[in-house]
Structure 1
Amino acid sequence: MTSSRKIDAERGERIRRVRTEVLKLSSQEKFAQLLSKEAKGVTRGAVGNWELGKEVGIDSMAAICKVSGVSLDWLAYNRGSMLSASKPALISSFDPDAAADEIDHIPSYSREQWRPGLEGALPELDSKLGAGQGAVGEIISLPVSNGTVSGHRIVAEWVFPSAYLRTEIKASPNHTIVMEVVGDSMTPTYLPGDRVLIDLSQNHFVTDTVYAISDGYSEPQIKRLQRVPFSEPALVRIISDNPALETFTVELAKLTVIGRVCGHIARK
């Protein structure tokens, strides 16, 4: 006597979503390689069977949850929220342990690993944008594909109409984050405790305005940038709005632009 194995197509679809939407892996083979670090005997064929709705062991489901941060209750039974309450939502960041030849291919900040709890919300990072001295905040590492992604914890979500972001402040809703300002170097324009909206897709110096920047070593800063006309190589002035502070001039090529400051949330 033979018995047919139960097919759970909805669970298979949830596993596929974890692979393609959460981990951004187009290949079942890469998903299997990632899971093999946490569970034994994971092959591309096994992943394919799981996504068709065939049986999956509890150890394998636990491994999926560990590498992706999704809830086991959601993955197995479609109960509760997708993200695990015990694992913070993350926004990718530079991995300081990456090999030197990989650095150019890793963005300073990215929203690829994050899903909002509130539809259309923008994430606020556990990282302070220095108007003087910044603060990186808590960094957490997750295994992704053949390496790791380090991430900033999300401390709040802010909801803005997408039309306002696109048409009024010219920011991409899918690439914008919120960061708190600390320090007084940008007073009176930006005060400590204010929040700013930063469009990560605008990560090149195009026009004289305010940007989130980094020198590649210290904490992120908020500064006004101004190109030096006719300079070769191209030079840029780094300006603090606080008139008591000095203006610096550096080569543009040595400056990392995290994104353009598109909006300002202030207490008045």
Structure 2
Amino acid sequence: MNTSRSSEPKNHFPDLNRNWETNSRYHRLKKAVDEAGSNIVVAPKAKVAPSTLSSYLNGGEWKLSVIEKIADACGVSLQWLLFGPDKESESHIISPSRGLYDVGISYFEEAQASAGFGRMGIDAPEPRKVFISRDFLEELGLTPHQTIILKVAGDSMEPTLKTGDRLILNTTPTNFLNGVTVFVSSGQLMVKRLAPTASGTVMIISDNDRYPTQEAEISRFRWGEPDGGDAITIIGRVAYRLQAMS
């Protein structure tokens, strides 16, 4: 009788512990998804069904290969999502202490935005992660899941941009078509200065006077994935330039 009562807490303690760990895991997932822009942003970026993501958020069983994609889409490490912060590990990129380089950003190293007449299409190898400060991104008004880095090639945007410069792009869609922007036109990945006009067109300007200014109907511009049609597809607006000194 006494033995039975004394063993009861021991039988239940592991289950309570597992429940606590599971709840913490779902809390981290919800936090990551919310910071990445909500389910409707994360699901297509992770290439998973919205119903799957909702199931994961609501206590459904996680499949490792799927949750890895979700973690990447949210800009957090799989290690952190599964197990939480680990002071001995540098693998997680969301840190309560906000480390010096704690945010992973997609760097499309092989995709060079042409500051010229166009060099290449948008097709490029998968990006790699580079780590920068979350505080720095916030100063620029950026969020990790809507920030990418590309390289410049060509001289049409000199002196503003030079070959080899790295561009930090804000990929958040906006109705304002102005400023230095990376876009795809006729299969070419380009960086130019956009300036809308009162007549319903957009001037496509090269800062280098040797290159002519072009003009396009505003109806041709859109955000999203290039489809090979007549649309001018905006990839993002340049928020910051990283320039080599040599």
Higher relative helix content: 2
Corresponding residue number in structure 1 for 2:191: 222
Contact in 2 for aligned 1:62/1:72 (Cα 8 Å): no
What is the CA–CA distance in structure 2 between the aligned matches of 1:212 and 1:185, rounded to whole Å?
13
Corresponding residue number in structure 2 for 1:125: 107
- One-letter amino acid of the counterpart of residue 123, structure 1: I
What is the CA–CA distance in structure 1 between the aligned matches of 2:187 and 2:242, rounded to whole Å?
25
Question: For residues 1-268 of structure 1, what are the structure 2 equivalents within 5 Å?
Answer: 4=12, 6-7=15-16, 8=18, 9-18=20-29, 21-22=32-33, 24-25=38-39, 33-34=51-52, 60-62=62-64, 65-69=67-71, 71=78, 75=82, 80=89, 81-82=91-92, 118-119=101-102, 121=103, 123-126=105-108, 127-131=111-115, 132-134=118-120, 135-139=122-126, 153-159=127-133, 162=136, 166=139, 171-174=140-143, 175-201=146-172, 203-205=174-176, 207=178, 209-215=179-185, 218-228=187-197, 230-231=198-199, 234-256=200-222, 257-268=234-245
Q: Identity over aligned residues, as a percent?
A: 20
The TM-score with structure 1 as length reference comes to 0.53
What is the CA–CA distance in structure 2 between the aligned matches of 1:185 and 1:161, rounded to whole Å?
32
Over alpha carbons, which structure has the higher Rg? 2
What is the CA–CA distance in structure 1 between the aligned matches of 2:239 and 2:84, rounded to whole Å?
41
What displacement does 1:33 show?
A: 4.6
Q: CA-to-partner distance for each residue in 1:75-116, whole Å, 9 max, x for gaps?
A: 269765458xxxxxxxxxxxxxxxxxxxxxxxxxxxxxxxx9
What displacement does 1:67 show?
A: 4.4
Q: SS at the partner of 2:15? A: coil
What displacement does 1:123 show?
A: 2.4
- One-letter amino acid of the counterpart of residue 133, structure 1: R
Q: For structure 1, which runs of at least 5 residues remain unmatched after alignment?
A: 36-42, 51-55, 84-115, 140-152
What displacement does 1:240 show?
A: 2.1
What displacement does 1:191 show?
A: 1.2
Q: For structure 2, which runs of at least 5 residues remain unmatched after alignment?
A: 41-47, 72-76, 94-98, 223-233
Contact in 1 for aligned 2:100/2:132 (Cα 8 Å): no
